[in-house]
């Protein structure tokens, strides 16, 4: 289901792409849209329906989405010129952006904009406009923005075919170089990173029917409007129009680069039908194996994953840590909550020695933390783990699923914050899970009983020396738990908890462990799903 998306991660990191602004006179919106549609009817030009030149304000995209929802869904015209129709990965990657054409490259602003070319998996046209002084100017495609090498033999089109997305650059690692900061490309996918990091997991504007037997629906960002930043800007604002058979939507992203890159997201959905299987603030990642999940692994590397756990801060203020797994079968876990305070897919292990990959550098992959704004009410954090035999596939999805149906012909507004980077940082007195391990419980020979070993550390505490050890409470659904032991770990300054699990006749056992202290300290609740 996610094969296409993950293979494109190499395109994100290695293709050289960009854009330049083609200025046009400001004409009435209806005139521009009609002319574009007429031209597109006889050529391969992408019709400009949404990101047209004209007046723009904060409500423009919301108004477009509201009106679009009143009409039956119509898929974007994906026809490409013959030279672009059947590109393979290497050919698409060989369409390189001309760096000198980056938008705002010769202006004193802390951001630059570059475009992605259409082709390969990215055939749908994406419209783009740039906002300045309350006016939007449509950004037209030009072949002069791109150049090709020896692999891409076909000519680039001369007509305006639109784009496949864009990326934002900003000097986050050093002042004299514009690093790649964020990418908007493919359906409603976006990705970002913090200082000194490499791209890893993605977010999505909206997830619909994920892991549904009838098939997943992928809403698409059909058009973007980007505000031109001023010289001393610390943020850049992106508007996006979402469309799918089930709903339209208007999104506003305020992006602030830094050690952790922060995105404030405001969104309103306009459903065409009742939305029953909705994923808000979805994160999509990859997990192949780790120290606790190496069954039948044939790989020289100790670990391979973009994220190693799902972290949740529920409405009761509890921190929950669930290590990710690469199951043999599709696995869906639901964590009921009321008014979630945060959740996200986290890359907690930052030690290169634990990965040993000089190319992928998984220790540099960002975590993605979601902070709901306001009370999201009743629902659940859903974790979907899809079997995978290759790291090129994204096989992990986590999102918030509201308990109530979002009715057709209504307006549903919500807001949240995305934090890309090392965050969240635990409080000084808070313990976090730093390692999960398991193996057979009897060293003398094979046994169905399992030994679990979990390490806790207090990374921001001055010391835990002299403090009383906690007690561990293990709850289980299925099987039998015994021999729970808590001991100090002198190598880490934290605690090591071990216990044995006898699965008995169970094929699946849900486990939860909590540490209880006699002082004011707290620790994450460890959760795990063992399967036969």
Q: For residue 236, count CB atoms less than 10 angstroms from its CB and return exposed for 0-12, middle for 13-18, buried for 19 or more.
A: buried
Tell me the three state secondary structure of residue 16. Answer: coil
Express each pLDDT in 26-78 by its tens digit: 233 333 333 434 444 334 456 679 999 999 999 999 999 999 999 999 998 88
- Of 9-18, 35-44, 249-258, the one with minimum mean pLDDT is 9-18
CA–CA distance, 16 with 24 (Å, rounded to integer): 26
Query: pTM, whole model, 2 decimals?
Result: 0.89
Express each pLDDT in 88-147 by its tens digit: 999 999 999 998 899 999 899 999 999 999 999 999 999 999 999 999 999 999 999 999
Mean pLDDT over each residue of the chain, to the nearest integer: 90
Kindly report whether the peptide bond that precedes residue 424 is cis, defined as omega within 30 degrees of 0. yes
CB of 170 closer than 8 Å to CB of 177? no
- Of 266-270, 465-469, 513-517, the one with minimum mean pLDDT is 465-469
pLDDT at residue 13 in the model: 31
Neighbours of 301 (CB within 10 A): 15
Express each pLDDT in 452-494 by its tens digit: 999 999 998 777 777 889 999 999 999 999 999 999 999 999 9
- Count of all residues that appear for the chain in the document: 532
CB of 325 closer than 8 Å to CB of 385? yes
Q: What is the mean pLDDT of residues 501-527?
A: 95
């Amino acid at each position: 289901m996610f094969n296409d998306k993950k293979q494109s991660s190499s395109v994100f990191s290695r293709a050289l792409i960009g854009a330049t602004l083609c200025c046009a006179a400001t004409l009435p919106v209806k005139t521009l849209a009609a002319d574009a549609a007429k031209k597109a009817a006889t050529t391969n030009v992408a019709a400009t329906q949404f990101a047209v030149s004209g007046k723009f304000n904060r409500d423009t995209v919301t108004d477009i989405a509201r009106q679009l929802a009143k009409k039956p869904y119509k898929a974007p015209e994906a026809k490409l010129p013959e030279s672009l129709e059947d590109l393979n990965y290497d050919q698409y990657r060989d369409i390189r952006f001309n760096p000198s054409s980056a938008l705002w490259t010769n202006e004193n602003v802390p951001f630059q904009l570059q475009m992605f070319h259409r082709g390969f998996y990215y055939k749908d046209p994406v419209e783009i406009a740039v906002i300045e002084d309350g006016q939007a100017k449509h950004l037209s495609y030009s072949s002069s923005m791109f150049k090709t090498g020896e692999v891409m033999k076909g000519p680039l089109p001369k007509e305006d075919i639109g784009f496949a997305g864009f990326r934002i650059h900003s000097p986050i690692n050093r002042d004299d170089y514009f690093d790649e900061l964020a990418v908007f490309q493919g359906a409603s996918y976006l990705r970002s990173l913090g200082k000194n990091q490499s791209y890893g997991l993605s977010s999505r504007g909206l997830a619909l029917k994920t892991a549904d037997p009838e098939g997943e629906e992928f809403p698409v960002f059909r058009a973007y409007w980007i505000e031109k930043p001023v010289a001393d800007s610390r943020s850049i604002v992106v508007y996006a129009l979402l469309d799918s058979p089930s709903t339209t939507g208007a999104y506003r992203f305020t992006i602030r680069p830094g050690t952790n890159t922060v995105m404030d997201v405001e969104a309103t959905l306009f459903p065409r039908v009742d939305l029953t299987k909705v994923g808000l603030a979805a994160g999509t990642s990859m997990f192949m194996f780790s120290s606790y999940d190496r069954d039948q692994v044939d790989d020289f590397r100790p670990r391979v994953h973009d994220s190693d756990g799902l972290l949740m801060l529920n409405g009761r203020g509890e921190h929950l840590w669930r290590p990710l797994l690469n199951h043999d079968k599709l696995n869906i876990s639901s964590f009921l909550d009321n008014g979630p305070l945060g959740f996200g897919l986290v890359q907690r292990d930052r030690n290169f020695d634990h990965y040993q990959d000089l190319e992928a550098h998984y220790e540099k992959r960002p975590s993605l933390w979601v902070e709901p704004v306001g009370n999201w009410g009743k629902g659940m954090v859903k974790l979907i783990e899809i079997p995978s035999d290759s790291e090129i596939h994204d096989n992990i999805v986590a999102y918030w699923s509201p308990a109530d149906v979002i009715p057709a012909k209504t307006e549903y507004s919500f807001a949240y914050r995305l934090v890309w980077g090392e965050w969240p940082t635990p409080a000084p007195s808070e313990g976090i899970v730093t390692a999960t391990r398991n193996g057979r419980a009897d060293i003398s020979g094979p046994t169905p009983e399992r030994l679990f070993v979990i390490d806790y550390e207090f990374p921001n505490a001055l010391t835990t020396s002299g403090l009383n050890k906690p007690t561990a409470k293990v709850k289980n659904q299925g099987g039998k738990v015994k021999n729970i032991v808590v001991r100090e770990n002198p190598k880490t300054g934290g605690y090591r908890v071990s216990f044995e699990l006898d699965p008995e006749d169970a094929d699946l056992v849900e486990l939860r462990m909590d540490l209880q202290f006699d002082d004011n300290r707290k620790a994450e609740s460890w959760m795990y799903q063992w399967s036969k």
